[in-house]
Amino acid sequence: MELKGKIALITGGLSGIGAATASELARLGADIAIAGKGAGEEKKVKDITSKIEKFERKCFVVEGDLSIPDDASRIVDEVVEVFGGIDVLIHCAGGRVPGGLIELTPEAWYKAFDIHVHAVFHLCRAAGPHMQKRGEGAIVLISSAGGLRGCKGAIAYDVVKGAIPQFTRDLAREFADDNIRVNAVAPGIIRTPFQDYLTPEQVKNNIENRIPLHREGKPEDVAQLIALLATNEFITGEVVTIDGGMAMRIV
């Protein structure tokens, strides 16, 4: 699917993987709508708008809480009103949920599901009917290497990210007759503010001992994969790991 002239709605598109994806899809010709809680941060909005406009594409930013059904519907309606439809939906919004079973509070557990699972449900449910009208489309969701493997001290995050692959498969099957492809990416260690909690010693250990390619990933690495899944017309229902080979190593 060519992206020139298409409309892409990206959540969490003001920083990290989301911002890199917004720039990459704009480079490929898409107009960009960005949604999320940070839409009121003027500097971030100005920065991403400038990057997108360098590719002579339009940028529209809308604020809202995607874990609230009415907000998700309003965001989608505003994007459709501005651009006329949605062809590509990318959900990058999220955040860390540290804590093991005992120290994690019930409130933090429920909030993790609101941010990482319920928001995906509300967003796809709101955007789906508009995408069905277009005759083709692509949805790309963000899982995590932690959602595919066990990780100490991050039980809520790993569980909610582990829900994304199954949601992806079911939605891919549901939307296949509408020519809407649904895939997910599972990033490993990517250098974004999400990883700022790591100590220099942990970063060094990751690079030297855990990642076979001996570097952290960049947001642009993930953005390129997302763009591939958004444009390839024969991949659906897949979860693609992008982690520098970390998950495949034995020793």
| Residues identified as active-site | 157
| Number of C-beta neighbours around residue 85 at 10 A | 15
Report d(CA 10, CA 1) in Å as an integer: 17
Closest by CA to 94, choosing from 194, 167, 222, is 194
Q: What are the two backbone dihedrals, phi and then psi, of residue 205, each rounded to the nearest 5 degrees?
A: -65, -40
Instruction: Name every residue whose Cβ is closer than 8 Å to that of residue 182 and which is 6 or more positions away in sequence.
Output: 138, 139, 140, 141, 168, 171, 172, 175, 236, 237
Rounded to the nearest 10 degrees, what angle do helices 106-113 and 155-175 cross at? 20
Asked if 32 contacts 57 with a C-beta cutoff of 8 angstroms, the reply is yes
In one letter, which amino acid is 98?
P
